[in-house]
């Protein structure tokens, strides 16, 4: 048998694609279907800005009044890279280097050419335009000039009321304060100024310049309130150190860090078995960190750090956190455990606190308290001032959120919302009539340590009002409510509709949201909590002519472990009970929550899977849920899919001889495995899926910057045991071990820049199938990653090839040359 693999080299224009008429028809439909995307709500909630997101473009923006129906709406067309409200008066946009000011009360419009950047100072109602000649001009909401400065190189703004700029003069670098209609020079230097930044408190402007001939960084601190400048001498700085500064208190105490990157050898890599910082190989450098305490008019204090610990702010003026990076990293979980210590900056002594599970720490605003889980899954609250610990008596509690005062901790969870009173040492449940997981919406997750660790300062935006989302996964229902003075007020009552977008004003008094369902395009709604009234603002889908014909159904079934599961069965558009229809089954894990999503046609849906295109082309589409048990990932997926198919077996309008199975990523692995075990499908499409899970287990994953075995032991694969403890379990669930059993044609695809699932896992499966003389075609995209880039030619190429594959094997449309090259024997 002749076996062909297609290496798709780059662009659609180089590949002969049939069904051009189908493509034209689909794109015509794509131009009529869109989702609504809320961009912003004005400060007082009088206006909302919303976009129409078509698959082919996102260039339509609507600005709608929420309260005063006498005001007209504004419709803007263009590829806007920036758009914002100016108080309640105007909208400013940027598109193709043209800024436009639209007055919302008198319909006046003002245009500015050659603009490359816009900054809005929200509380002042002014905006700054930087043109292509680096001239910065500040305007009020009427479009009148109130300030300007040329030769601007860097802009630092708090987006509220403060704006500082760096200007290149003839022989000096100058920093100007342009806030409040000022144009005051606050600093100048003959040295190159590299960075300027306004602190979180808005009280400090940090300036980093290059120190003359030494080429070292020099820190300059400008106190915005007093106007005083200081230049702390950090004698231990070296050439190449990168400086950053944070405030410890409001009295002029600062925490300064410097990081030096040491390049690793490009000739020889040395990987140690006890290395807990393997990402350094990927980055290509090691780091040396130094830390100082800087106080006004005092010599900077270099912090002791002989053991090369990472040190970071606690929020408390007397203590810093510290841990040895990589010390406990064994890569069996996504994030490492941390041995956390406190460094007393008064005595410069370290005190070991505890071992924190999964690098997850939540800190109160003033740093007096932090909460974490131990390796034994217990929640522990630590009082930094008294140095005492408390156990929180409920391990099922989810993410903690502090109030601003630091007196209460709210806990989200899958079971409800709880609050812990720190003073009373009491935990209570906040009851409402609905079951389901609770999530606090109006919280700020301020990252303290960067993306590699889950160390946050999670704070409520508003201590008076808490906004809560409830999700009942069993019934796929959602509700939104506020809690104020222990009183619950519903914003959206429990609904089967999908709430894709939910926005609110800072004071949690006005709300904008979208509401949709599978056969109901999104409508845009406004809710005013003061009168409890909901107002419909806009209805999408006016030209979606087939929407009323869409139908789906929830199918219930149980796997072999008697776990109740659901599948979503989508009917073909013009369903006729007397006919038989082909079926495309798409798998991943839990998918039933998608049942209430409004689906649109488009290339930028899930890779290689367009549900709406399939049902409009006469297919049933089935999305069964998959969970994992003791038999392992692949065998559990096979069991769930078999039970899901059994649940629809008796339906005469489903053609059991014309069923296809597909999945991407983890779903691609499941598809690969099921293809080696099942005889229920006529064909398969598998994208970017593992085929050899033993090799995958022992691989380094460049997407997660980690050995991949954590995904099997404590991650998505849920094998729950190391390979060495149960080799048979892994071998039984590895598709490559059974590739000779694949009995029907299979289409494989992958991007060769995939750093999540190594592309050669797909190649390995292809080689195994080729060796066993199976009907396989593999598509490899050299410039693409785990998902083909949105809008790319490769994504479109894959889209049409997959549709053609289904038509070929499930509808017997055989006039497809690139498939026939494999399926028709050489003459």
CA separation for the pair 776, 769 (Å, rounded): 7
Q: Which two tokens stand for residue 322?
A: 């510290």
CA separation for the pair 345, 295 (Å, rounded): 12
Q: What average pLDDT does range 118-129 have in this prediction?
A: 94
Angle between helices 793-810 and 20-30 (to 10 degrees): 120
Q: pTM surpassing 0.75?
A: yes
Q: Specify the pLDDT at position 314.
A: 94
CA separation for the pair 100, 94 (Å, rounded): 7
Task: Name all contacts of 446-451 with Cβ < 8 Å and 24+ positions apart.
Answer: 448/312, 448/313, 448/361, 448/363, 449/310, 449/312
Number of other residues whose CB lies within 10 A of the CB of residue 192: 13
- Report residue 629 CA to chain centroid gap: 28
Q: Specify the pLDDT at position 261.
A: 93
Report whether 717 contacts 697 (CB < 8 A).
no
Q: Specify the pLDDT at position 106.
A: 86
Compute the C-alpha angle 753/758/762, nearest 5°. Answer: 105
Q: Specify the pLDDT at position 120.
A: 96
Compute the C-alpha angle 234/236/240, nearest 5°. Answer: 95
What are the distances in angstroms from CA 368 to CA 302, 364, 402?
A: 24, 7, 12
Angle between helices 633-646 and 666-675 (to 10 degrees): 70
Under the banding of pLDDT at 50, 70 and 90, the label for residue 13 is very low
Q: Specify the pLDDT at position 6.
A: 45
Percent of the residues in the chain that have a pLDDT greater than 90, as a whole number: 84
CA separation for the pair 217, 209 (Å, rounded): 6
Q: What average pLDDT does range 443-452 have in this prediction?
A: 85
Q: Specify the pLDDT at position 19.
A: 53
**DSSP of 7-46, one letter per residue?**
---S-GGGS----HHHHHHHHHHHTT-EEEEEEEE-TTSS
Q: Which tens digits make up the pLDDT trace of 191-200?
A: 999 999 999 8
CA separation for the pair 691, 610 (Å, rounded): 24
Q: Specify the pLDDT at position 149.
A: 95
Under the banding of pLDDT at 50, 70 and 90, the label for residue 14 is very low
Report whether 493 contacts 513 (CB < 8 A).
no
Q: Which two tokens stand for residue 782?
A: 């050299």
| CA-CA-CA-CA torsion sign (346, 307, 378, 416) | positive
Q: Phi and psi for 715 in degrees, rounded to 5?
A: -125, -145
CA separation for the pair 715, 733 (Å, rounded): 16
3-class SS string, 730-750: HHHCCHHHHHHHCCCCEEEEE
CA separation for the pair 219, 111 (Å, rounded): 40
Q: Specify the pLDDT at position 826.
A: 45
Number of other residues whose CB lies within 10 A of the CB of residue 682: 18
Report whether 43 contacts 85 (CB < 8 A).
yes
Q: Which of 406, 429, 414 is nearest to 486 (CA)?
A: 429
Average pLDDT over the chain reads 93
Burial readout 309-328 (b: 16 or more C-beta within 10 A, e: otherwise):
bbbbbbbbebbbbbbebbeb
Who's near 329: CB < 8 A, 6+ residues apart?
276, 277, 336
Residue that has been written with the tokens 């099922």 in this structure: 396
Q: Phi and psi for 34 in degrees, rounded to 5?
A: -155, 160
Under the banding of pLDDT at 50, 70 and 90, the label for residue 205 is very high
Q: Phi and psi for 305 in degrees, rounded to 5?
A: -155, 55
Q: Which tens digits make up the pLDDT trace of 632-648?
A: 999 999 999 999 999 99
Residue that has been written with the tokens 């129906």 in this structure: 69
Q: What average pLDDT does range 330-355 have in this prediction?
A: 94
Who's near 595: CB < 8 A, 6+ residues apart?
476, 518, 552, 554, 568
Under the banding of pLDDT at 50, 70 and 90, the label for residue 452 is confident
Strand, helix or coil for residue 644: helix
Q: Which tens digits make up the pLDDT trace of 368-404?
A: 999 999 987 889 999 999 999 999 987 778 999 999 9
Give 208 or 19, the one with higher predicted confidence: 208
CA separation for the pair 236, 216 (Å, rounded): 11
Asked if the model's pLDDT at residue 17 lies above 80, the reply is no
CA separation for the pair 542, 377 (Å, rounded): 52
CA separation for the pair 268, 263 (Å, rounded): 12
Asked if the model's pLDDT at residue 451 lies above 90, the reply is no
Residue that has been written with the tokens 């603002």 in this structure: 537
Q: Specify the pLDDT at position 235.
A: 85
Task: Name all contacts of 781-784 with Cβ < 8 Å and 24+ positions apart.
Answer: 781/8, 781/10, 781/749, 781/750, 781/751, 781/752, 782/7, 782/9, 782/10, 782/752, 782/753, 783/10, 783/751, 783/752, 783/753, 784/751, 784/752, 784/753, 784/754
CA separation for the pair 442, 465 (Å, rounded): 9
Asked if the model's pLDDT at residue 18 lies above 60, the reply is no
Q: Specify the pLDDT at position 396.
A: 78
Number of other residues whose CB lies within 10 A of the CB of residue 365: 18
Give the length of the chain.
Answer: 827
Q: Which two tokens stand for residue 410?
A: 């709210």
Can you state the percent helix, strand and coil of the chain, rounding each to 5? 15, 40, 45
Report whether 567 contacts 559 (CB < 8 A).
no
Q: Which of 265-269, 394-398, 714-718, 754-758 shows the lowest per-residue confidence on average (mean pLDDT)?
A: 394-398
Residue 669 exposed, middle or buried by CB count within 10 Å (0-12, 13-18, 19+): buried
CA separation for the pair 281, 270 (Å, rounded): 9
CA separation for the pair 505, 498 (Å, rounded): 21
- Report residue 736 CA to chain centroid gap: 32
Report whether 506 contacts 486 (CB < 8 A).
no
Q: Specify the pLDDT at position 455.
A: 94
Q: Which tens digits make up the pLDDT trace of 720-752?
A: 999 999 999 999 999 999 999 999 999 999 999
Q: Which two tokens stand for residue 312?
A: 């970071």
CA separation for the pair 458, 660 (Å, rounded): 46
Structure letter (DSSP) for residue 506: T
Q: What average pLDDT does range 524-551 have in this prediction?
A: 94
Q: What average pLDDT does range 674-692 have in this prediction?
A: 98
């Amino acid at each position: 048998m002749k076996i062909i693999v297609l290496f798709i080299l780059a662009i659609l224009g180089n590949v002969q694609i049939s069904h051009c008429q189908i493509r034209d028809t689909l794109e015509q439909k794509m131009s009529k279907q869109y989702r609504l995307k809320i961009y912003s709500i004005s400060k007082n909630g009088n206006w909302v800005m919303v976009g129409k997101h078509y698959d082919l473009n996102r260039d339509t923006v609507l600005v709608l009044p929420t309260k005063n129906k006498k005001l007209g709406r504004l419709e803007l067309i263009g590829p806007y890279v920036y758009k914002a409200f100016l108080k309640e008066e105007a909208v400013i946009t940027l598109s193709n280097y043209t800024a436009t000011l639209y007055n919302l009360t008198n319909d006046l419009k003002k245009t500015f050419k050659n603009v490359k950047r816009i900054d809005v100072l929200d509380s002042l109602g002014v905006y700054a335009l930087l043109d292509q000649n680096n001239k910065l001009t500040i305007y009020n909401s009427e479009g009148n000039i109130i300030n300007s400065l040329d030769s601007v190189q860097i802009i630092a703004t708090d987006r509220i009321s403060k704006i500082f700029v760096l200007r290149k003069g003839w022989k000096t670098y100058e920093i100007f304060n342009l806030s409040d209609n000022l144009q005051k020079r606050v600093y100048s230097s003959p040295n190159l100024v590299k960075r300027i930044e306004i602190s979180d408190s808005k009280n400090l402007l940090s300036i980093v310049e290059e120190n003359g001939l030494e080429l070292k960084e020099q820190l300059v601190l400008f106190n915005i309130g007093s106007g005083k400048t200081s230049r702390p001498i950090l004698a231990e700085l070296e050439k190449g150190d990168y400086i950053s500064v944070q405030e410890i208190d409001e009295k002029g105490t600062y925490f300064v860090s410097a990081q030096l990157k040491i390049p690793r050898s490009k000739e020889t890599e040395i990987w140690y078995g006890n290395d807990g910082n393997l990402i350094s190989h990927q980055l290509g450098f090691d780091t040396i960190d130094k830390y100082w305490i800087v106080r006004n008019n005092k010599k900077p204090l270099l912090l002791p750090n002989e053991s090369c610990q990472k040190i970071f702010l606690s929020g408390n003026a007397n203590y810093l956190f510290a841990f040895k990076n990589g010390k406990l990293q064994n890569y069996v979980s996504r994030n490492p455990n941390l041995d956390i210590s406190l460094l007393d900056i008064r005595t410069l002594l370290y005190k070991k606190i505890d071992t924190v599970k999964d690098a997850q720490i939540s800190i109160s605003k003033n740093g007096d308290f932090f909460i974490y889980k131990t390796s034994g899954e217990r929640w522990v609250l630590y009082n930094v001032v008294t140095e005492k610990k408390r156990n929180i008596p409920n391990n099922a509690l989810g993410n903690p959120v502090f109030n601003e005062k630091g007196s209460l901790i709210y806990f989200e969870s899958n079971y409800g919302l709880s609050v812990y009173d720190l003073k009373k040492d009491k935990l209570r449940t906040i009851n409402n009539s609905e079951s389901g997981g609770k999530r606090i919406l109006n919280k700020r997750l301020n990252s303290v340590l960067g993306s590699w660790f889950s160390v946050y300062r999670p704070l409520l935006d508003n201590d008076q009002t808490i906004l809560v989302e409830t999700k009942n996964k069993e019934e796929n229902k959602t509700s939104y409510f506020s809690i104020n003075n222990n009183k619950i007020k519903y914003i959206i009552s429990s609904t089967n509709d999908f709430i894709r977008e939910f926005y609110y004003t800072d004071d949690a008094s006005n709300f904008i949201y979208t509401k949709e369902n599978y056969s109901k395009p999104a409508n845009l709604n406004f809710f005013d909590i003061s009168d409890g009234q909901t107002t419909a603002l806009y209805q999408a889908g006016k030209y979606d002519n087939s929407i009323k014909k869409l139908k789906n159904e929830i199918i219930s079934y149980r796997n072999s472990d008697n776990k109740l599961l659901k599948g979503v069965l989508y009917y073909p558009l013009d369903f006729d009970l007397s006919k038989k229809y082909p079926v495309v089954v798409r798998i991943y894990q839990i998918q039933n929550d998608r049942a209430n999503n409004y689906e649109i046609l488009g290339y930028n849906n899930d890779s290689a899977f367009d549900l709406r295109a399939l049902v409009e082309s006469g297919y049933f589409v089935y999305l069964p849920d998959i969970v994992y048990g003791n038999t392992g990932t692949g065998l559990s997926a096979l069991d769930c899919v078999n039970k899901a198919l059994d649940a629809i077996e008796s339906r005469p309008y489903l053609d059991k001889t014309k069923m296809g199975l597909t999945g991407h990523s983890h779903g691609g692995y499941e598809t690969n495995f099921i293809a080696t075990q099942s005889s229920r499908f006529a064909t398969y499409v598998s994208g970017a899926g593992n085929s050899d899970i033993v090799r995958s287990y022992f691989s380094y994953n460049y997407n997660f910057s980690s050995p991949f075995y954590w995904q099997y032991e404590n991650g998505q694969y849920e094998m729950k045991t190391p390979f060495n403890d149960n080799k048979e379990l892994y071998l039984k669930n590895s598709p490559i071990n059974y590739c000779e059993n694949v009995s029907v044609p299979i289409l494989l695809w992958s991007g060769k820049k995939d750093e999540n699932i190594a592309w050669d896992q797909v190649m390995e499966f292809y080689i195994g199938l080729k060796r066993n003389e199976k009907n396989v075609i593999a598509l490899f995209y050299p410039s693409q990653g785990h998902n083909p880039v949105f809008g790319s030619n490769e994504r479109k190429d894959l889209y049409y090839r997959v549709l053609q594959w289904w038509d070929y094997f499930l509808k017997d449309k055989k006039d497809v040359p690139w498939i026939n090259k494999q399926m028709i024997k050489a003459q």
